[in-house]
Amino acid sequence: MEKKTYNNLELDVYEEVLDNGLHMFVCPMDRNEVFAKITTLYGSSILEFKPHGKDEFIEIPKGTAHFLEHKMFAKKDGEDIMNKFQQNGASNNAFTSSHVTSYYFSAPNKFFENLENLLHLVTEPYYTDENVLKEQGIIDQEIKAGFDDPEQSAYYTTLFNTFSKLPYRYPVAGYTNSIKDITPEILYDCYNTFYHPSNMVLTITGNVDALETIKFVKEFYAKLDYKNMPQIEVKEYDEPREVFKEEEIMYKDISNYILENGYKVYLKDIDVDLLKVLQYVEMYLAIKFGSISKFNQECFEDKNILTPIRYMFDNKDDYLYIDFDTKVIEKKDIFERIYNNINDKEFSKEDFDLILKNILRATILMSENVGRMNNSIDYQFRKYGRVVYDIYDVYKSLNYEECVKVINALDFTHNTRTIVTKK
């Protein structure tokens, strides 16, 4: 066990790697609750891999990771894990993204009872033909609802048209025809490969004793027989820098236009640490499109624009994906305005300094919230292979000149446009 300290945040983190390979991070915080999360490095973007104990690659149905998340709550003795959390006064849930699947709870008391339930949840798979068939019906309705929703459908289409080969282009839940091919055998192949403790990380923040917590987790896993896990082999893809399709028009039962705009930005040409690159991009987008931006004010005054032009971004392998969406009365020149604004790489040091102050303030506030702190530790370990204990110092070292250099090196020209209009 190693004790680490966050610089300038006055928080200690106890790191432990169990004999089975599980990475643990425990961060005691003087709060009246605990947030615990266990994450497997397996998300919807893994569709081709070599299962544990087998010699050949297999291709699994789209949506399998999300399906597996649902089925982890099914237990052989029929016990209701969610009800057990609720009886202990805990709030619990799970989610699947393109990168990971996470299970978590937050609670003011009965910590060890809830932690044991969380560990039981991810260590006791139970898949049968009957419960898989039942789940197919439930998720089928979930998928149909998503594609019936004009905004979600626009997002799915934009993501699909952005990437050509990377499985990020597919919805996390998959498609109605793909989940029909999921079987208990496929779920066990995925579970035995990706739910091994060596491919998982457990993060705990809040009102806990670190030494007692680590001891408890070690004793729990000591009862289970986990053999050494070989390196997981996942298919790699040669993704082109261009988008798959530049524009698509969709027809839905709506009264106005829904516009979605996806940008695909190659990151590997940048000779700067990824952590800084992503932070500079976040700052740049806030300056150009955020609440303080001239662009945002112009959109607010434009009566044609019914909802603010929202943006989000995510790092997907060697690429950055940036998504814009809005609702308008007439399509007009919205896409062109976004394009011109993101490619007009002029911004002032004053704006940069203002955003940086907000980032430093947010970092301090994050250290006072058990959920946000938990998410930060989990994210940093997965993204950078380590917890960034000098994160405040890293942010403080960000400078305008390097930001300009990074932004100027990024190519914001490859984008796809989705137009949803009335039938």
Mean pLDDT of 20-39: 96
Catalytic residue among 15, 16, 69, 260: 69
Q: Which ranges of 223-348 would DSSP assign to H, the alpha helix?
A: 274-289, 294-301, 334-343
Collapsed DSSP state (helix, strand, coil) of residue 364: helix
| Cβ neighbour number for residue 355 with a 10 Å cutoff | 22
Rounded Cα distance between 303 and 325, Å, is: 16
Instruction: State pLDDT tens for residues 288-301.
Output: 999 989 999 999 99
CA–CA dist 373, 382 (Å, integer): 14
Residues 6+ apart with CB under 8 A from 83: none
Q: What is the predicted pLDDT for the residue at 269?
A: 87
Q: Which two tokens stand for residue 216?
A: 């408890």
Report the C-alpha gap between 360 and 326 in whole angstroms. 30
What predicted TM-score, i.e. pTM, was given to this entire model?
Answer: 0.94
Report d(CA 25, CA 258) in Å as an integer. Answer: 43
pLDDT range class, residue 225, cuts 50, 70, 90: confident
Task: Quote the CA–CA distance of 209 and 29 in Å, as a whole number.
Answer: 10
Judged on CB neighbours under 10 Å (0-12, 13-18, 19+), 151 is middle
248 is catalytic: no
Quick one: what percent of the chain has pLDDT higher than 70?
100
Alpha-helical (H) ranges within 45-175 are 64-71, 81-87, 111-123, 129-148, 150-162
How far is 413 from 416, CA to CA, in rounded Å?
10
Q: Which residue type sits at 248?
A: E
Q: pLDDT tens digits for 123-177?
A: 999 999 999 999 999 999 999 999 999 999 999 999 999 999 999 999 999 999 9
Helix axes 274-289, 370-384, angle to 10 degrees: 120
pLDDT digits (tens, 9 = 90+) for 362-371: 999 999 999 9
Q: How far is CA 85 from the centre of its chain?
A: 24
Query: Is the distance from CB of 178 to CB of 62 less than 8 angstroms?
Result: yes
Backbone angles phi, psi at 105, to 5 degrees: -150, 155
- Whole-number pLDDT of residue 292: 85
| Helix extents (H) in 290-348 | 294-301, 334-343
